[in-house]
Structure 1
Amino acid sequence: MNRLVVIAISALIVFLLASSMMFIVDQRRFAVVYSLGEIKEVITEPGLKFKLPPPLQNVVMLDRRIQTLDSPESRPIFTAEKKSLVIDWLVKWRIAEPRQFIRNNGPVTSNIENRLSPIVQAAFNEEVTKRTVLGVLATERDKVMNDVRRRLEDEAKQFGIEVVDVRIKRVDFAANVTEAVYSRMKSERQRVANLDRATGSAEGDKIRADADRQRDVIVAEAYRDAQKVQGEGDAKASAVYAESFGRDPAFAQFYRSLQAYRSTFRSKSDVMVIDSSNDFFKAMRGAGAAPAAAAPRK
């Protein structure tokens, strides 16, 4: 029984010793083998690897994938025009030299980010101060990013990393400048709106005046044509009347009397007191009628 226990313990010790000597390197990581506190080997190929058991040798894994460093709390940067801008940026980086990386930063990536962040910010400061607001926002935005990346390449080598990309995420004015810019934009838009309203009002007055003028011309021409047609009609009627009256004077006299009656008695309430023997009622009495006594006529 004691012999079985010894065998089991020995087997367990051998298993633990063997497991401490084997490790697996993932394709997404570097394996750094330490020997008594010094870097002995950097393994970049994935697979099952072997080493001496601790404390003779230890293994530290480093992520070889691309990492992202975002800008910390944004600080204003002054342009060549002395305008204050706030820039949010990001940097893509990865470990290029594991030995150099560990010597300068240790195996923790947060250490390199804390050291790299102020360097990136300083590079942006130098590039932005050379340019105008328009250049940073639009015309030279790509050049700013490329120049910052070139500045970081030399700095990155001493940290054992490679800068893959530099990007500007957002550019904005500082808070105190933003309000002034928005105020100027609002005033400019208000000025343009007032100008458009004034122009529209002037155009409206011009159109209305032109329409009134055209209306007056059309009405005047229509009145002129109507008067002309009426005059021609009156002339023709007068000619017809004259011709008819010339042929039969008695009929003419009778027609004029009827016209006089029509003009005189326009309403049932009209009252006229006159001698019935007056020549005014001659047409009503007829040729053979005797004169009657004077009486009111309606």
Structure 2
Amino acid sequence: MQRFFPALVGLVIVLAVLSSCMFIVRERDSALLFALGEVRETISSPGLYFKYPPPFENVVYLDRRLQTIESRDPERIQTAEKKNLLIDYYVKWRINDPRLYYVTFGSNSNAAIERLQAQIRDALNAAVNVRTVRQVVSSERDTLTDEILSAVSKRAAPLGVDVVDVRLRRIDFTTEISESVYRRMEAERKQEANRLRASGAADSERIRAEADRKQQEILARAYAESQARRGAGDGQAAAIYAESYGKSPEFYSFYKSLDAYRSAFSVHDSTLVLSPDSDFFRFWNNAAGNQPAPAR
């Protein structure tokens, strides 16, 4: 056993030296290979690699995955109207140049996050200070985001960082301007509602006037047509009456008298004050219509 102990110790030492000469780069990492404290190579492809054992060469790993920075507290930023807004944001970024990133920040990711947050605050102030509340909240929000992303990307590139996206997650009003903003919004909504009501009333009057005009035109045409037809009917009736009278004047007089009786006595409790020998009753007791000789 004592004979094999030195050989076993030598084998362990050899294995330790060999293991220190190998390193693995994972898919999510980039590796910086240092030779006597100086960066000799940057490795971004995953795989198994070899190097000299420490202290001749050593390896530092950097995470190259997409990372997120979220604002801890909303940033208080002033608009062009001297009104304060509370803006909450998040940023997506990754290490673009491992060598430059390590030279700037070392392996301390907190330092990189603090530097990026400072740059984002500066870009937010520069973009929001020249805009009104309405522009920041609604009309130019996309343009504002693009300006911030462009500014932060340019300032982060020399640090070895690639800023992928910047988003304004929430924009709130401070307490001192919330009431004034709500009052202004309420006044604008009321003004819009009044405009719509006035427009609707005008349309209603126009539609009603148009309907009345068409109604009068239809009634006028109908009345004219009815009068024309009534006149034609009266003419035909007069012609028929004339023809009938010409054929038998006695029967025509008798028929018209019966029609007069029917009309006169169709109403209950009707009273006529007439002389019995008047012409109205000439067919009452005599079908021939001859009046009796007056009594002496």
Say yes or no: TM over 0.5: yes
AA aligned to 2:31 is: F
Partners of 1:70 and 1:285 lie apart in 2 by: 123
What's the offset of the Cα at 1:170? 1.9
- Aligned partner of 1:43 in structure 2 is 41
**Aligned pairs for 1:245-256 within 5 A:** 245=245, 248-256=248-256
What's the offset of the Cα at 1:223? 2.8
- Aligned partner of 1:62 in structure 2 is 61
Contact 1:77 1:128 in 2 (8 A): yes
- Aligned partner of 2:152 in structure 1 is 148
Deviations 1:108-156 (A, max 9, x none): 3233223432233224323443455368524565344323333444xx4
Q: Taking structure 1 as reference, are residues 13 and 238 closer, same or farther at Cα in structure 2, changes over 3 Å only?
A: closer
Q: Which one is further off, 117-126 or 277-286?
A: 277-286
Partners of 1:126 and 1:112 lie apart in 2 by: 21
Contact 1:32 1:43 in 2 (8 A): yes
Partners of 1:104 and 1:242 lie apart in 2 by: 124
Contact 1:127 1:147 in 2 (8 A): no
**Matching of residue 165 in structure 1 with residue 163 in structure 2:** yes
- Aligned partner of 2:119 in structure 1 is 119
Partners of 1:226 and 1:219 lie apart in 2 by: 10
Q: Taking structure 1 as reference, are residues 219 and 117 closer, same or farther at Cα in structure 2, changes over 3 Å only?
A: closer
Partners of 1:212 and 1:136 lie apart in 2 by: 49
Q: Which one is further off, 44-53 or 72-81?
A: 44-53
Q: Which one is further off, 39-48 or 109-118?
A: 39-48
Contact 1:26 1:47 in 2 (8 A): yes
| Partner SS state of residue 82, structure 1 | coil
AA aligned to 1:96 is: D
AA aligned to 1:122 is: D
Q: Which one is further off, 177-186 or 257-266?
A: 177-186
RMSD of aligned alpha carbons: 4.1
Deviations 1:159-200 (A, max 9, x none): xx3232353312654333577556544543443233223322
| Partner SS state of residue 161, structure 2 | strand
- Aligned partner of 1:88 in structure 2 is 89
Deviations 1:213-249 (A, max 9, x none): 3323432443344334434433453454345435644
- Aligned partner of 1:294 in structure 2 is none
Partners of 2:161 and 2:145 lie apart in 1 by: 18
Partners of 1:241 and 1:288 lie apart in 2 by: 20
Partners of 1:206 and 1:136 lie apart in 2 by: 39
- Aligned partner of 2:261 in structure 1 is 261
Contact 1:90 1:168 in 2 (8 A): yes
State the aligned residue count.
Answer: 278
Partners of 2:248 and 2:277 lie apart in 1 by: 25
Identity %: 29
AA aligned to 1:219 is: L
Contact 1:152 1:163 in 2 (8 A): yes
Contact 1:128 1:136 in 2 (8 A): no
The alignment's TM-score, normalised by the length of structure 1, stands at: 0.70
Instruction: Identify unmatched segments of 5+ residues in structure 1.
Output: 292-298
